[in-house]
Amino acid sequence: MNLSRPDRLHRLDALAAAYALGTLPARARLRLARVAQTDIVVAATIREWEQRLSPLSEAGPPIVPPPQLWRLIALRLGLAPERPHTRVPWWKLLAFWRVLALVAFIAVLALAVVLLSPRRDVTGPPIVVVMSGADARPALIATLTRGGRIMTVKVVDAAPVPADKSLELWMLPEDAPPRSLGVIPAVGVGRIGLPVPPEFAFARVPTLVVSLEQAGGSPTGAPQGPVLYSGKVERFY
């Protein structure tokens, strides 16, 4: 699939967003990374999303390693000479750390094999919905694995929500009134459970929207407040 075509840029943007967020399944992520090696448009879109989301990773508090860990690293690198005539505890022996590093490498390799091994179609590429406002800037990203029942909604760049209001996520079916998926958080990540698998829940549903409702959501089962964000449902399977 040529994702650089003008009519597929919206799909490329959704895939790149999920790639940068880390919500893209392993097989789809590997395929997209391979395409980015030869397609400069795909590579630039991924890089743009990584730069856009990088402040989120920098917002976390820094973790300072304990002094003992630094001493062990220096000892292993030969930067901290051992005291003469001092018996070295077993946990400081270089051989011990070599064995531990080998065990860790084997564990990581086994995990990579599991994650990258072919899976059944029920865990294939996801549904991705990038919802934006009037300024066309992505505000929320919803992702759902094929065959899964939990939709993840991540707030990327949404406007602040008053304390007495809530954001509510809605399906817009082609031939039926809006159906509520539930209230979502104004910041961070929210998760919404589906009563049926995605292929049934999203049948003939081309669009999701988010409206501003009273605290706890609309009491009538239909949107009462203004629609703030909307996005097209992209199925990558």
- Average pLDDT value for the chain: 78
> Residue holding tokens 């090696």?
37
Q: What is the per-residue pLDDT across 205-219, written as a single tens digit (0 to 9) for each?
A: 999 999 999 999 999
Confidence check: pLDDT of 17 > 60: yes
Residue-number span of the structural domain to which 27 is assigned: 6-58
CA-based max dimension of the chain: 84
Q: Tell me if 147 is assigned to some domain.
A: yes
139 and 208 both lie in a single domain: yes
**Is residue 168 in some structural domain?**
yes
Is the same domain home to 228 and 150?
yes
Average pLDDT over residues 82-88: 53
Summarize pLDDT for 136-167 with one digit per residue, the tens.
888 999 888 877 788 889 998 888 999 999 99
Identify the top-confidence range among 15-29, 53-67, 74-88, 222-236. Answer: 222-236
Count of beta carbons in the 10 Å neighbourhood of residue 96: 13
- Per-residue pLDDT averaged across 122-132, rounded? 72
Q: Is the pLDDT of residue 168 over 80?
A: yes
Residue 1 lies in a domain: no
Looking at the 3D structure of the chain, how many domains does it have? 3
Encode pLDDT of 34-60 as tens digits.
888 888 888 888 888 887 777 665 555
Between 10 and 130, name the one with better pLDDT.
130
Residue 212 pLDDT: 94
Query: CA dist 65 to 68, 97, 100, 102, Å?
Result: 8, 18, 19, 22
Predicted TM-score (pTM) above 0.75: no
Higher pLDDT among residues 124 and 220, named by residue = 220
pLDDT at 124: 47
Helix residue spans in the chain (DSSP H): 9-21, 26-38, 40-58, 67-76, 94-116, 198-201
Q: Are residues 81 and 107 both part of a single domain? A: yes
